Amino acid sequence: MNTEPPHRILLSSEPAFRLGGWAVEPALRQMSNAGESRTIEPRVMQVLVALAKAKDRVIGRDALVDSCWSGRIVGETAINRVISLLRTLGAETDAFEIETITKVGYRLKAAEAASPEPMAKAEPDAIQSSWWASRRAIFGAAVGAVVAAAGGSAWWVASRRKPSAEAVRLTDHAMSSFVEYRGADLNPQILADLREAVRIAPDYATAWGGLALVFAGRYEVAPRAQRPDLAARVRSAAARALALDPKEPRASMALLGLSTAFGRWADYETQARSLLEPTHRHPIVVGSLGGVLQDVGRWRESAPLYDEVDHDLLTNPIGHCRYVMALWGSGQFDAAELAVADAVQRFPRHPATWSAQIRILMYGGEPDEAIRRAQDSNSRPPETTAGELVPLIAAAGAIRSGSTADAKAAIQLNLQALPAIRDVFGVTHRLAALGAKEDAFSILEGYFFRRGPWSGISPDQDRGEGGFWTPPLFEPPMRPLWQDRRFTNLTRRLGLNAYWDRTNSRPDFLGLI
């Protein structure tokens, strides 16, 4: 049996073909037959193409990983999920079956005797959809965990009319651009593309959901005075999307994004779980549920959620960093190092991936490497300022040397820099690691409760500075604070203790002190 992998499957370059009477267009992620159309999640389409190209040969699991996951380390759950989805798709369309060859791999058996037949070349401009991961608990870390493609009761949805290739292209382009969106300065072209997509394809639920999600992203960082108008826009676009597809995930998450998870974690968790399908896990929903679990220190429960989705769908750097932090926070340090290296390779010089790698190196026994990367102007984000670098490098140097004098100097540099750089948790982590617990708690008091000398660093939501951010409280550098009674008092005042009692859950850090 031939279990050699086919070449890497790049959907935008794969020709269309027929399978069991259905037209399969990999570049558009579409299967169609007699007016019925299915939109298929990218990884599922990749595996379908790989099996179809094998032409009755068996493809081993390792071969599928090489061709469809770029050879990355993936868990059994990820592969099993895709095969399960393919089997469901094959049964629903009567186009094919997936046969398991025990301890060897899989083979596709088309409903027709003939091998899959090539078709006319697919639309060249069609690009693979992006799955936008959110800011913070809602969208994947601060624009917040994971991005956008098809919704519905499975990863594909039947549609009454296939959207035009141009509408798909515009929507994908807009969402791909949106994953790089930072802050309130939204590129006007993103909205222009989505508005044009819904104009030419008014029954395209994905485009309407994307429009709702973009407005929700703006809503989170907008000044308070602008929020009512943005909320109305979110609801309008989401209502249109959900009328076309009641389970359109972007629309559902956009509506959920109108309320903050902070302080109402239990309700938010319940809502996010209600959007999960029993057998199919949409990255947007998984990212949001994983995010809220990280908000309350439940890293070990968060990490497996990300393993259930295709990591290539984490096309947003924030989504990748959510996964990295889940591994790091749950004590899977080796896996976190591999995951952050992959994230940096995918998103070189992005602030989120760069910062995640620096932290893992700095607090993971490699401060020298953290310093080297911080000083390398070719690898760090171009917008990084000297005001940010100097306190970071000083702290890493003090961790490396173990010198009391170096620690005192680094602490002073970080305290002096904080009002300008406003990197609350970056500085707090360094202070905790260097033994400056008094200063660390003083900063947290100012940030969360607007009290004491650091009250000025608390986010001003009237000016659109976003809400409070809690996952860093439970990251490894904070360990020196966890045993202090002031940390317990902090979590109680934030309402976290009440959440843990209400949900009968336990944050991971309690098992580490």
Token couple for 1: 């049996």
Q: Which residue, chain included where needed, has tokens 């190196």?
A: 361
Asked if 208 and 244 count as a contact pair (C-beta separation under 8 A), the reply is yes
Return the pLDDT at 217: 81
Token couple for 107: 């083979």
In sequence order, which residues have a C-beta less than 8 Å from that of residue 345 and are 6 or more positions away? none
Asked if 287 and 133 count as a contact pair (C-beta separation under 8 A), the reply is yes
Return the pLDDT at 198: 94
Burial (CB count <10 Å: 0-12, 13-18, 19+), residue 35: exposed
pLDDT by 10s per residue, the chain, length 513: 444 444 688 887 789 999 988 999 988 888 888 878 888 888 888 899 999 998 889 998 888 888 887 766 666 767 887 888 888 888 888 889 999 887 788 999 887 644 445 554 433 333 233 222 333 333 333 333 333 333 332 333 333 457 888 888 888 888 767 755 544 456 688 889 999 999 999 999 999 999 998 898 888 777 778 889 999 999 999 999 999 988 888 898 889 888 878 889 999 899 888 877 654 566 777 878 888 999 999 999 998 887 766 555 455 677 788 889 999 998 888 889 988 988 888 888 889 899 999 999 999 999 999 999 999 999 899 999 999 999 999 999 999 999 999 999 999 999 999 999 999 999 999 999 999 999 999 999 999 999 999 999 988 754 545 578 899 999 999 999 999 999 999 999 999 999 999 999 999 999 887
Nearest alpha carbon to residue 30 among 224, 206, 279, 253: 206
The CA-atom distances, in angstroms, between 35 and each of 81, 151, 421 are 28, 19, 56
Return the pLDDT at 5: 44
Asked if 340 and 356 count as a contact pair (C-beta separation under 8 A), the reply is yes
Asked if 275 and 252 count as a contact pair (C-beta separation under 8 A), the reply is yes
Question: Structure pTM?
Answer: 0.67
Return the pLDDT at 103: 78
Return the pLDDT at 151: 33
Return the pLDDT at 156: 33
DSSP assignment string, 8-23: ---GGGPPPEEETTEE
Token couple for 485: 């009674």
The Cα 297–Cα 288 span in angstroms is: 14
Asked if 137 and 266 count as a contact pair (C-beta separation under 8 A), the reply is no
The Cα 317–Cα 355 span in angstroms is: 11
Asked if 301 and 474 count as a contact pair (C-beta separation under 8 A), the reply is no
The Cα 284–Cα 397 span in angstroms is: 39
